[in-house]
Structure 1
Amino acid sequence: MNTVALRPKDRSPLRIKAGKVFFTWKRYFEWLVNAKRYAKTRQRVLLPYSAFSHQTPLMRQLQGVEMSYQYNKIKNLKLATKRLDGIIIQPGETFSYWKLIGNPTKAKGYVEGMVLHYGKFTKGVGGGLCQLSNLIYWMALHTPLTVTERHRHSFDVFPDSNRTQPFGSGATCSYNYLDLQIKNETNVPYQLHVRLTDSQLIGEWRCEEPQLYSYRVCEKEHSFTPAYWGGYIRHNELWRKVYNRQHKLVQEEFITENNAIMMYEPLLEQQSVK
C-alpha cells in the first residue's frame, strides 16, 4: 500500500475544474477512436434466465445529509434506469455506464442530489447515481462478465452501520471520466434489468443460457492503518469463490484491492458492527 500516493492533495478550485474538463474531453475522444463495440441495443422482453439479482434501499438517514437530496436522488435514478433497463450485451460488446446514460443535465430533468467530493458531501445535478453504478458492479461480480473499468471510492465516509456488502464493493462514477465498463467475454448475451419500487432500487443480470457457475464475494486482509499525516487508511482485498452446479468450490479469484481514507475513527466502525 503506497500511503504517499493516498495522501489527500490540496488542489485549487481552478485546478480541479481544469482537470475535469481535460479528462471529460479525453473520454469523448476515446469513445470516438477506440475499437470497442459498445452495447446499445435495448430489448423489453427479458432473457429467460436470471444470473444474479440484488436490491438496495432508496432512503437512508445519513448524518449531516439533508433528506431532500435523498428524494432528489430517486428522481435521478428513475431517469437513469430508463436508459439502462433492458440493455443487451452481446458477446464481445462492452457496457459503458455513461455512454448509455449520457450527461445528466438539468435540461434532461436531472436535479441536485448528494455528491461525494473529496471526502465531503455536497450537492450536484445528477447526484446519487453512484447507487446505481454500485449495484451494477456488485451484480457483475456474481457473473462471468468482465469488469474492464471501475473506480473505487477514495474516502470511507460512514461507519459500517447496517452494511450488507464488504467494504469497497462499490463503483463510484462521475460523468464521464469515472466510468463503469463491463465486457461480455462469454459466448452468450447478457441483459441488464433495473427498476425502482417505492423503497428499493432493484437490479438483475439475465442471460440466454443458465450459468455454469455461481459466485460468492468475500473480503480478505481487512485492516486499519494509521496514516503518517494523521487519521487512518482502511484496506482490504476482494476475492470471489467460484462454485459449480454441484455447489463445489472450483476456484478462488482475486478481484481488487481497496484503500480509502477514513473520515471517522476506526473505533466507531468496530462498535457499529457488534
Structure 2
Amino acid sequence: MARKLFCQISPLTYKISVYKCQKLRSIKDIFSKANFAKDKQKEPLEFLAYAHNSLIRRRLGNVDMELQENKAVNLSLAAPKVTNVLIKPGQTFSFWRLVGSTHKKYGYKEGLQISNGKVSAGVGGGMCQFTNLIHWIVCHTPLKIIEHHHHDRFDLFPDFNRQVPFGMGTSIFNNYLDYRFFNPTDTTFQLITYVKDEYLCAQMRSDKPTKYSYHIKAENERFEKKGEQFYRLGEVYRTVVDKRSGNIIKKELLRKNNALVMYKLENND
C-alpha cells in the first residue's frame, strides 16, 4: 500500500496543507514582479474581440440540482468582482486576486467541486465554470495564458448541450490554483462578466481592433477501450486567421485528450 501524503492523513492535515499552499502563494505574489490587472472602467471599450455565454444549470449525471442552484448564487457573487477589469499592455490577469475569498460569510454556498476525478460539495464550488468561460474567451484573443491547471484526466459526465470541446476546462482552488493570463500586446483589453437568466456571460473587448480571428475545433474524437476501461481521446486545435487577407497564419495543438471515462457509455458493455 502506498504511503499516504500528509494532506491525506486526516481532514485536519488537509486543512493545514491547504493553508500552507495559500500562504506560500500570497508570499510569492508579494515578491513577484507581475503587474496585476486591477483597474476597472464601467464604459465598455470600443471593439468586441470575443463573447460567449455558459449555461449555468446543467444536467451532470446524478449530481444534486441544489448544487447547481447554489453554483448560480456563487457565480452571481463573483461576476461583479471581475467585470470591467482592464488588462493593459504588460499586465497579468489573476482570477483569485479579483474574486478574493469565497467563504460562506460572504454569502457563498456549497457547490460542485471536482478533485482527483471525484465529485464533492464545497463552499464556493462552481467557480471552475467561471474560469472555463474566461479560458474559452482568452483562447480567441492574442492574450498569453501563463497559468492553467487541467482536470481533464477524467471524463466525469456525458455531454449535455456541449458547446466547448472537451479538454478546454480549468481546475482552480482558492488561491493557489489560479487562472492567469498576460497581455503581451500594445492593446488594452477589458473583460466584462455578468449573470443573466440561465447563463454566465462574458465579453472580451479592446481599445483597438484585433488583427486575427481564432477558430477552435476538436478533431479525431473517439472512445477507446483499454482493458476494462474506456478512454476519451482526441485533439483540440486552434487556427489563427488573418482578418484582412483571410489567410491561415498557423494551426496549433491546444490539447491532446486521454481521459478516463467515469460513466457508462451507451451501446457499450
> TM over 0.5, yes or no?
yes
Q: Deviations over 1:104-152 (max 9, x none)?
A: 1112111111112332222111111111100000110000000111011
Tell me the equivalent position of 1:158.
157
Deviations 1:38-65 (A, max 9, x none): 1011110110000000001121122221
Alignment of 1:38-187 (within 5 A): 38-153=36-151, 154-187=153-186
Q: Which residue of 1 aligns with 2:193?
A: 194
1:21 alignment counterpart: 19
Amino acid at match of 2:21: F
When the two structures are aligned, how many residues end up with a matched partner? 259
Q: 1: distance between equivalents of 2:20 and 2:221?
A: 35
| SS in structure 2 at match of 1:60 | coil
Deviates more, 1:27-36 or 1:17-26: 17-26
CA distance in 2, matches of 1:193, 1:116: 26
Partner of 2:254: 255
Moved more, 168-177 or 249-258: 249-258
TM-fit CA distance, 1:74: 1.0
Change (3 A) 1:236 1:47: same
Pairwise CA distance, 1:226:
5.0
Comparing 174-183 with 107-116, greater Cα deviation is found at: 107-116
Q: CA RMSD of the aligned region, Å?
A: 2.2
- Relative distance call for 1:240 and 1:88 in structure 2 (3 A) is same
Higher mean displacement: 58-67 or 172-181: 58-67
Select between 215-224 and 67-76 the one with higher mean Cα deviation: 215-224
Q: Which amino acid aligns with 1:155?
A: F
Q: Is the 8 A contact 1:152 1:258 kept in 2?
A: no
CA positional deviation for 1:239: 1.9
SS in 1 for 2:149: coil
Amino acid at match of 2:70: N
Deviation at 1:96, TM superposition (A): 0.4
The unaligned stretches of length 5 or more in structure 2 are 1-6
Relative distance call for 1:95 and 1:258 in structure 2 (3 A) is farther
Identity among equivalent positions (%) equals: 35
Give the partner amino acid of 2:187.
Answer: V
SS class of match (2:48): strand
In 1: Cα distance, 2:131 partner to 2:84 partner: 16
The structural deviation recorded for 1:78 is 0.9
Instruction: Give the Å deviation of 1:210.
Output: 0.7
What is aligned with 1:4?
none
Give how far 1:244 is off.
Answer: 1.0
Q: CA deviation at 1:17?
A: 3.9
Relative to structure 1, is the Cα distance of residues 178 and 225 closer, same or farther in structure 2, using a 3 angstrom cutoff?
A: farther
Aligned to 2:30: 32
Amino acid at match of 1:178: L
